[in-house]
Amino acid sequence: MSKKLYNILIISSLLLLITACKTDPLEDYFVQATESPDYFVVNIPASIISFDEDQLDPKTLKDVHSIKKMNVLVYKNNFKPAKKQAEFEKAHKIINSKHFKTLTKINNKGYEVVFSYQGKPTGIDEIVFLGKDKNYNFVIGMLKGKDVNVNSIAKALKHIKKVDKSQAESVIEILKPNRETESAK
User: Consecutive sets of 10 residues in the chain, 185 residues long: mean pLDDT of each?
Assistant: 59 51 76 88 80 87 82 83 89 88 82 84 83 85 80 76 65 54 42
Contact 45, 69 (CB under 8 A): yes
Q: Taking the complete model, does pTM exceed 0.75, yes or no?
A: no
User: What pLDDT was estimated at residue 179?
Assistant: 42
Tens of pLDDT, residue by residue over 88-99, are 999 999 888 888
Determine the pLDDT at residue 99. Answer: 83
pLDDT of amino acid 91: 92
